[in-house]
Structure 1
């Protein structure tokens, strides 16, 4: 990284100058024009600047300027001298308003003012007819000038993380070439407004919370047939009504994660999409604002052959239909954190599947024909009840990552030794020791690959050496280490077992000759040494949970809570005249 003192020897006829992170730049620094001859790019980020340095009048050929991560409060008038500037990045500063006239930047293609304190914007920016990308995210804006509707060459507009309560008028009336619009993180923003541009390809409205308006039905109005991506993650709409339209939109990516959806709603959405490739209708964690699907809604997808990825995690999923085999081009499926106790054999027909995430379920076994998924590279099956692996798994020669953390395996599956391309493996918290696993690749190296992304996981059970001659070792969990007194069994327990085996009854202490029925010897409970620590799955599901409670239990609970008065006592002779 060059400093200002080294510019005289290094900046002659170079096209890129990086001074980012330098604290040696003074705002009144001035240099001869020859030192910046032919400079095209200048990076002054992270320099603690309060203003643009004086030597900017020597940068007549500058094309890209980066002033991000400084303390600049406003742009100087002299910055307009940079007539050839095409890219201006002023992110992460303290700019509250722009007082300079930006019309001089007639070649400007990208302007980024993200993460400042802007509450208003210049009215005449529509004259920037070459502007294609405008980033105004993370400011304090509540509206955009109506005159901006004339910015007909603008392709990307990001107004996320502001204070907008509705779609700005300039978007309703102009910006005809806009292809990407991001209005995410504008709390409770009404996005059910019409967008003028017919070229919209991507629309983001993530993390807007509980929106009091209806779902933006303009998307399915027939005007946006070629929209490619919709992202409404963690945005909950008051109502979702899709207009009846015979034309289907050509949507490729749909993200409805954590949107409080259910079967009927998702059906109305999916039947209006013709060739969906990526579908995310899962939750990060199941909660009241989350989606709820007892079964996989694959029957609503019009063209299952087009689907490539699907996420339906943490939605209360209890069953996977056999028709999942119709997703012939599926490469990734995420169904973790559900109530699945089995997977259909038909899932093995997905020859192109590369990623299968089934962790945090109630699975007790995997499909026997799992080796047919020859393209599988990642298998995550942690926190289940698997006691063995299917023998066909040795055919998964492309498998690179396998996660079997916290299951019921009692020994190392032999099939793992045949997986030559394995790069990461986690077998911890099963019912065997992992300290001396013999694999073609060091198990510790395989384990560390998983722990980079999951450092919170424990390691165990592990063997702890014991000094007692009667017992060599005992299994304990690393999170629940037993004391030496608890981990060592009583030597007499083993001796008594040996005596009982020999059936030498005369030498026993409780022989009938010495037994006193009035003073029996104390009987101590046997000491058991458990070879492992059992861990309960956090997602337990029982079919009886779906049954309605018994009437007598409802009445008893109502009386206990004071919601129902106790019956009056029966008076003697009350029913004497009854038939």
Structure 2
């Protein structure tokens, strides 16, 4: 009898132990899976405000009440407002550095830092995961941190007027980027990874030192604007013909001696500026650019034009000045919408163009 009772007690004890263990495991599981917010340390906020005070950055609350409302820039000194800030305008403050604490403002969507004297950006910038627009133009930046490639929601990136000699390859990870402006730097090449930006609509690369473009630039299928003037390009990649949505192509002031025939595939092109290069001829395929309105090829070495030029029925402006033209094709008379034709400083102009002279669209000066 005693042994039987002992067995019952032992079993109950075992069940109780298992029950307690199960409860303990469930509690542990809840603790591990729970999203408990850590206690915030307000020291970084105080540091940020101290930096703002040192740099004479206004209280944004005062700005919104009418002080400096014209510029709408500054930083709120109220913690709740600061932590919920979605747009931060700190342009034209003569800032020499950006504290890493600013990267704790994770709700920011637009950050404007142009017209300062920044030479670096904090690598913690990758914390700004909601950022859609970043303007750091007209500073003293010589490079961008690779962490910038982690800003997955970025749509607009403007770094014009800095001292960049290269772009990080991680920039190719910004798959939501629509506009990239890096004009006025010292770039000699563009990383191939930039061609991963399938949503990119505008690419401004002019006023750099580029001697070539990525061979697969044709992958930028959404591109409507490609501005690469004022560089040292000697040729264009044939893949440029894949840019089916391109409307503006500026390639003037380079060292191009030819244009790829694939340019004829750019059926949406309206503006083609190619002046100040070393072109000796234009491809016959240029005549299929039926939406072209402006064609500038002045200051080249052209001695003739393709007859297909007469097919450009939408052409309004045509600049041929300062070439080596001996004659112009009579097909140019088919350009019914032409309002301005510049042919000065060439060798000769055919008499058939007298009718255009009467319309005062030709400049022989």
TM-score with structure 1 setting the length: 0.45
Is 1:185 aligned with 2:264?
A: no
Is 1:218 aligned with 2:285?
A: yes
Is 1:241 aligned with 2:306?
A: yes
SS in 1 for 2:280: strand
How far did residue 31 of structure 1 move?
3.4
How far did residue 159 of structure 1 move?
1.4
Aligned to 2:340: 279
State how 1:93-108 maps to structure 2 within 5 Å: 93-108=162-177
SS in 2 for 1:181: strand
Identify which of 229, 232, 235 aligns with 1:163: 232
CA contact (8 A) 1:63 1:86 kept: yes
Query: In 1, distance between residues paired with 2:95 and 2:218?
Result: 43
Aligned to 1:28: 99
Aligned to 2:88: 17
Query: In 2, distance between residues paired with 1:207 and 1:218?
Result: 21
How far did residue 78 of structure 1 move?
2.1
State how 1:333-412 maps to structure 2 within 5 Å: none
TM-score with structure 2 setting the length: 0.69
Query: In 2, distance between residues paired with 1:88 and 1:251?
Result: 34
How many aligned residue pairs are there?
Answer: 293
Is 1:256 aligned with 2:324?
A: no
Identify which of 293, 297, 312 aligns with 1:228: 293
State how 1:98-497 maps to structure 2 within 5 Å: 98-172=167-241, 174-191=242-259, 193-195=261-263, 196-208=265-277, 211-220=278-287, 223-243=288-308, 248-256=311-319, 258-260=321-323, 264-265=327-328, 267-268=329-330, 270-273=332-335, 275-281=336-342, 283=344, 289=345, 297-299=353-355, 311-313=361-363, 315=364
Query: In 2, distance between residues paired with 1:299 and 1:311?
Result: 10
Aligned to 2:65: none
SS in 2 for 1:115: coil
**CA distance 1:83–1:268, change in 2 (3 Å):** same
Q: Between Structure 1 and Structure 2, which shows a larger proportion of helix residues? A: 2
CA contact (8 A) 2:304 2:325 kept: no
Aligned to 2:36: none
SS in 2 for 1:214: coil
**CA distance 1:185–1:299, change in 2 (3 Å):** same
Instruction: Give unmatched runs, 5+ long, in structure 1.
Output: 284-288, 317-579
Query: In 2, distance between residues paired with 1:212 and 1:103?
Result: 33
Deviations 1:466-523 (A, max 9, x none): xxxxxxxxxxxxxxxxxxxxxxxxxxxxxxxxxxxxxxxxxxxxxxxxxxxxxxxxxx
Larger Rg: 1
CA contact (8 A) 2:87 2:110 kept: yes
Deviations 1:205-237 (A, max 9, x none): 1222xx3521343212xx322222212233341
CA contact (8 A) 1:230 1:254 kept: yes
- Single out whichever of 211-220 and 148-157 deviates more from structure 2: 211-220
SS in 2 for 1:194: helix
Query: In 2, distance between residues paired with 1:300 and 1:264?
Result: 15
Query: In 1, distance between residues paired with 2:248 and 2:152?
Result: 27
How far did residue 97 of structure 1 move?
1.5
SS in 2 for 1:276: coil
Query: In 1, distance between residues paired with 2:235 and 2:261?
Result: 8
SS in 2 for 1:152: coil
CA contact (8 A) 1:234 1:256 kept: no
How far did residue 162 of structure 1 move?
1.4
How far did residue 282 of structure 1 move?
5.7
